[in-house]
Structure 1
Amino acid sequence: MLFRQLEYLVALSRERHFARAAQSCYVSQPALSEAIRKLEEELDVPLVRRGRSYEGLTPEGERILMWAQRILADREALTDEVGALRTGLSGRLRIGSVPTASGAVSLLTGPFCVEHPMVTVDVTANLRSEEILRQLQNFELDAGITYLPETLPDGFLAVPLYEERYVLLTNIGDGLARQATATWTEASRLPLCLLTSTMQGRRVLDEIFGEAGLRPSPRVETDSVASLFSHVRTGRWASIVPHAWLHVFGVPDGMRAVPLVEPTRTMPIGLVTTAREPGPVMARALAETARTTDVAAILERLPGTAKA
């Protein structure tokens, strides 16, 4: 009964609505409400601020929520561990990725699924770096693929995967398409389609432009790397994309990917997991795949990625 009560509390915190939380747990709203009320009685503390609708957790509820997430995650990790010892790894692996790195996720999930055929993989590919760390901390993800800061926060481990570099994606008829490289200054003069300014991938580009004393004014902004490619295809715009996405789309007909220089900048991308011991068996298995898969070497063979 305790596990079920904790599951209901976690669901209520996530959904922030009694009916939606009950629906996500496949129970009636009265059953969920009563279970949480009984948990409050057993712990002798109020957990939920109640009004006409859900108003959030009490300070005590927030502390209990942290324990609930940990207890449920440990129970799931124990179940996975026992299952792996008996019949091999099975269950569901949850991966979060920043959008600019999501094109490279398959380079890990491919060999991972070959090694562990009974595991299913759930990839969320539109998360910000800080959201990935938050969800890892809250046991909502098993692993994340994201930018690696110089110093990773306490409680996390990282396996470096590759250095993200940038290419100018432009129409083959553009003059820059005939060059071996293009400068950021030359790119800034083109009608650009870029990621939205709220995304970390765009903030990286703005920092590089700023290093060159430039402030680009894109004609089109989007939250989708695929949308960048589709806009360049029209012949009206150029874009700056992470070279790893050439693994997904290649260089489409009528386009050219030109390495960007002056300055030449890279950003480290890696697999991040929590530093819990012994840690979830799913996360440990994926980290082992990351250590034995040379993602950087695969991406080095892509067009438009020659180092200047």
Structure 2
Amino acid sequence: MIDKLEMFIAVAKEGHFGRAAAGLGITQPTLSNGIKTLEDQLGVQLIFRGSRFGGLTPEGQTALDWARKIVGDTRQLREEMRVKRDGLSGQLRIAVIPTALTVAARLCQRFNARHPKVHFTILSRTSIEIMSMLDNLEVDAGISYLDNEPMGRVITEPLYEERYMLVCTSDSPFANRQDVAWEELSGEKLCLLTPDMQNRRIINRNFSAANVSPKTCIESNSTIVLVANVESGGYLTVLPEELARFLVAGKPLTVVPLTGREPSHAVGLVAPFREPHTPVLDALLRTARKLSKAD
């Protein structure tokens, strides 16, 4: 039944039989037959469907919660048995907000120094996507903001406080300043993350608190694109400190602290609330705790 529950979770996530089948690497008839078999075993209709997916029935909504729990518990059982046999090993999938990718790299490096048989998949995603991926068992953990949007039933481990920096060319009038106030960016040509990014929403609130309507000329979901435009096009951008310093290294660019307005925001490791955690995830949480204390 586990494979049928995984099919059901995939269909509920995608809202489309074809995409769910493609994601699972099976044919659409195989998926449809699997869902029908699951409905027969449970004795209820799970999905409204005619010529296409029509949403979950009330019974399907309840079954989805159970499916996630059962599949999650089954994966945990398999993981614990593998650890008994091979020690800490396997794959950890982590979804990370773009502004925390450098911290994710440090976390994985520190973890692998102690547990070299564990391999990582790191995906860049928005904070909203991360929470959805955790719910749908697509990733084992995330790195996201801890204090700015609803998070649901999760366990968290703080990693750092986000501090915002202005990124400009070395010949910019701002380059030799000790700090810059948000108000001073009024009218300046800016390139910023897209509005679906939580970092952008935080930055927008800082501008609003400073009574500034930012002149945003370029938007991108890639921080590399932002810094490239600063270097080549004379724009300014705003990024968290660690990421900003990493991206400007070796370039004719400067980072200057931004002062005032909103306090810094906590960023940390996020994992589904489950006791006990898998041995690998438990080790990752301990590593995040040590990394936070070291910083």
TM-score greater than 0.5 by the shorter chain: yes
Name the CA distance, whole Å, in 2 between partners of 1:15 and 1:200: 23
SS of corresponding position for 1:192: strand
> 1:53-92 counterparts in 2 under 5 A?
53-92=52-91
Give deviations 1:231-275, integer Å, cap 9, x for gaps: 001142111111121353243422111111134731111111122
Give deviations 1:182-227, integer Å, cap 9, x for gaps.
2212233421111123321111111112222222121222221111
Residue 219 of structure 1: SS of its match in structure 2? strand
Q: Deviations over 1:66-86 (max 9, x none)?
A: 211211111111111121122
The amino acid across from 1:53 in the alignment is: R
Contact 1:104-1:247 within 8 A present in 2 as well: no
Equivalent of 2:281, from 283, 289, 293? 283
Matches within 5 A, 1:33-44: 33-44=32-43
Instruction: Tell me if the contact between 2:9 and 2:136 (Cα under 8 Å) persists in the aligned partners.
Output: no
Q: Show the counterpart of 2:272.
A: 274
Q: What is the alpha-carbon distance in structure 1 between the residues aligned to residue 210 and residue 18 of structure 2?
A: 53
List runs of 5+ in structure 2 lacking aligned partners: none
8 Å Cα contact 2:245/2:255 also seen in 1: no
- Contact 1:95/1:143 (8 A) holds in 2: yes
Alpha-carbon distance in structure 2 between the residues aligned to 1:258 and 1:7: 48
Q: Distance in 2 between matches of 1:26 and 1:210?
A: 47
Question: Structure 1: which amino acid aligns with 2:170?
Answer: I
The answer to which of 55-64 and 147-156 deviates more is 147-156
Residues 100 and 250 (structure 1 numbering): CA distance in 2 closer, same or farther, change over 3 Å? same
Instruction: Give me the whole-angstrom Cα distance separating, in 1, the residues matched to 2:59 and 2:105.
Output: 41
Q: Equivalents in 2 of 1:84, 1:152: separation in Å?
A: 33
| Cα separation, partners in 2 of 1:239 and 1:151, compared to 1, 3 Å | closer
SS in 1 for 2:195: coil
Whether the 8 Å contact between 1:162 and 1:295 is mirrored in structure 2 is no
Is the partner of 1:234 in helix, strand or coil? helix
What is the match of residue 213 of structure 1? 211
Q: In structure 2, what is the equivalent of residue 303 of structure 1?
A: none
Change (3 A) 1:252 1:193: farther
1:240 aligned partner: 238
- TM norm structure 2: 0.91
2:11 is matched with 12
| Residue 187 in structure 1 maps to residue 185 in structure 2 | yes
SS at match of 1:176: coil
Residue identity opposite 2:104 in structure 1: V
Q: Displacement of 1:4 after TM fit?
A: 2.1
C-alpha deviations, 1:49-71, integer Å up to 9, x for none? 12112222222122112211211
- State the aligned residue count: 295
Q: Name the SS of the counterpart of 1:117 in structure 2.
A: coil
Q: Greater CA deviation, 233-242 or 260-269?
A: 260-269
**Which stretch shows the higher mean deviation, 260-269 or 168-177?**
260-269
Distance of 1:164 and 1:72 partners within structure 2: 35
- Matched residue of 1:12: which SS? helix
| Alignment partners' CA distance in 1, 2:6 and 2:202 | 38
The alignment partner of 2:77 has SS state of helix
Q: Name the structure 1 match of 2:223.
A: 225
TM-score by structure 1 length? 0.87
Q: Distance in 1 between matches of 2:243 and 2:149?
A: 26
Letter in 1 for 2:44: V
Amino acid at match of 1:173: D
Q: Does structure 1 conserve the Cα–Cα contact (< 8 Å) formed by 2:126 and 2:196? A: no
2:111 aligned residue: 112
Contact 2:131 2:151 in 1 (8 A): no
1:126 corresponding residue in structure 2: 125
Q: How has the CA–CA distance of structure 1 residues 296 and 146 changed in structure 2, closer, same or farther, with 3 Å as cutoff? A: farther
CA distance in 2, matches of 1:134, 1:127: 10
RMSD of aligned alpha carbons: 2.2
1:107-158 per-residue CA deviation (whole Å, 9 max, x = no partner) reads: 1011112222222211121222x33223323333211111111797562221
Q: 1:238 to 1:296 in 2, by over 3 A?
A: farther
Contact 1:48 1:61 in 2 (8 A): yes
